[in-house]
């Protein structure tokens, strides 16, 4: 196995390598004066089973498109130089949200991205918690592995013996405020909620996973949200009993945080005692600091699929952000494919 990480500064990839007991192979990246770049492996990939890790988020000076291009051209180079098999490992897959046509002449961006990878000779792809798992699997003709973020967030509960003693969160990369949910099991009612109808299946699957691990029933709720031409409208309708409950508000990503804020406010209006926002990908785009200052939320939990360049800035003055590692589930997926 050869394991590459195109973003050498992302701690997640070092942790994945450690879990696999592998070293990260070296590569060269040159950026020219006009912005063009060249990437080449410094280890002969000929005959090897190669895994290339790259998260497709944007950041100042390096857009999602830049990262997509780097991954695409590096995979093509590996195949060109005789790699037996190339697997792309993508913690955050850009364009996964655009998986169906909602307007006349809309692109199917996810399918177009899939065609790019296939043209480069990528034979398999691993991604963490995409927007729609079925659409993801249908967009690619090569085998794909969808790693559910519930594998990361199940560890929120530190008592898996059948009672809920507390909700604990791993230490983040930002200074935390200790927000513990220590209560007697018979005094707590937990509800998993989806912030919109599109995420119902995701939230239901996590609820089922938690019920199996904890050995007792959890409630379920769904909020109403409609989006058209970038405008969100909602009636603050909550389907499900959340009165007096501790609510885990679960989604695939947080961008501006508007969806989570509106959902948390609606849940509080309908009587929820506490609300914890949980999302696989913390993009934390413009105005995300408002989410972390939202009084309707007790904590925000994300994975490290996107590195902390936005986490620290967004969390300043809020102190309620938790970052949990996705390294073990991703390493497990790589290990299973490599056998």
Q: What's the DSSP call for residue 127?
A: E
Beta strands at 85-90 and 49-53: parallel, antiparallel or unpaired: parallel
Does 130 share its domain with 264? no
Domain contains 333: no
Exposure string over 117-142, b if 16+ CB within 10 A, otherwise e:
beebbbbbbbbbbbbbbebbeebbee
Final residue in a domain of this structure, among 103, 131, 147 = 147
Does 215 share its domain with 140? no
Range of the domain at 103: 2-147
Final residue in a domain of this structure, among 129, 147, 165 = 147
Residue 233's φ and ψ, nearest 5 degrees, are -125, 145
**CA-based nearest residue to 203, from 240, 172, 258, 161:** 240
CATH of the domain at 21: 3.40.50.2020
pTM of the predicted protein model: 0.88
> Tens place of pLDDT for every residue, the chain, 339 residues?
999 999 988 899 999 999 999 999 999 999 999 989 999 999 999 999 999 999 999 988 899 999 999 999 999 999 999 999 999 999 999 999 998 898 999 999 999 999 999 999 999 999 999 999 999 999 999 999 999 999 999 888 763 333 333 444 433 333 333 344 433 344 578 999 999 999 999 999 999 999 988 888 999 999 986 654 454 455 578 999 999 999 999 999 999 899 999 999 999 999 999 999 999 999 988 777 788 889 999 999 999 999 865 555 545 445 678 889 999 999 999 999 998
Structure tokens at 66: 């830049």
Question: What pLDDT sits at residue 319?
Answer: 64
Does 182 share its domain with 42? no
Question: What pLDDT sits at residue 234?
Answer: 57
């Amino acid at each position: 196995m050869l394991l590459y990480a195109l973003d050498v500064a992302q701690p997640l990839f070092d942790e994945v390598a450690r879990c696999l007991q592998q070293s990260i192979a070296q590569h060269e990246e040159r950026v020219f004066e006009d912005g063009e770049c060249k990437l080449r492996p410094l280890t002969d990939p000929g005959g090897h089973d190669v895994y290339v890790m790259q998260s497709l988020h944007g950041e100042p000076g390096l857009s999602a498109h830049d990262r997509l291009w780097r991954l695409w051209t590096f995979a093509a180079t590996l195949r060109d130089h005789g790699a037996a098999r190339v697997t792309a490992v993508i913690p955050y897959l850009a364009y996964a949200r655009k998986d169906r046509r909602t307007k006349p002449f809309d692109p199917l961006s996810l399918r177009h991205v899939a065609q790019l990878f296939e043209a480069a000779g990528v034979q398999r792809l691993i991604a963490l918690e995409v927007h729609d798992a079925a659409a993801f699997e249908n967009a690619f003709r090569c085998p794909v592995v969808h790693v559910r973020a519930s594998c990361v967030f199940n560890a929120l509960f530190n008592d898996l013996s059948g009672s809920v003693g507390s909700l604990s969160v791993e230490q983040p990369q930002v200074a935390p405020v200790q927000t513990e949910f220590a209560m007697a099991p018979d005094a707590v009612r937990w509800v998993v909620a989806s912030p919109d109808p599109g995420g119902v299946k995701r939230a239901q699957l996590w609820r089922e996973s938690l019920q199996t691990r904890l050995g007792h029933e959890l409630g379920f709720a769904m909020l109403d949200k409609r989006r058209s031409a970038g405008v969100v409208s909602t009636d603050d309708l909550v389907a499900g009993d959340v009165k007096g409950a501790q609510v885990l508000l679960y989604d695939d990503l947080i961008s501006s945080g508007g969806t989570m804020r509106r959902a948390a406010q609606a849940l509080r209006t309908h009587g929820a005692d506490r609300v914890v926002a949980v999302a696989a990908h913390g993009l934390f785009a413009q105005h995300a600091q408002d989410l972390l200052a939202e009084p309707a939320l007790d904590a925000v939990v994300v994975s490290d699929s996107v590195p902390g360049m936005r986490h620290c800035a967004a969390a300043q003055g809020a102190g309620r952000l938790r970052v949990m590692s996705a390294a073990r589930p991703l390493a497990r997926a790589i290990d299973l494919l490599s056998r």
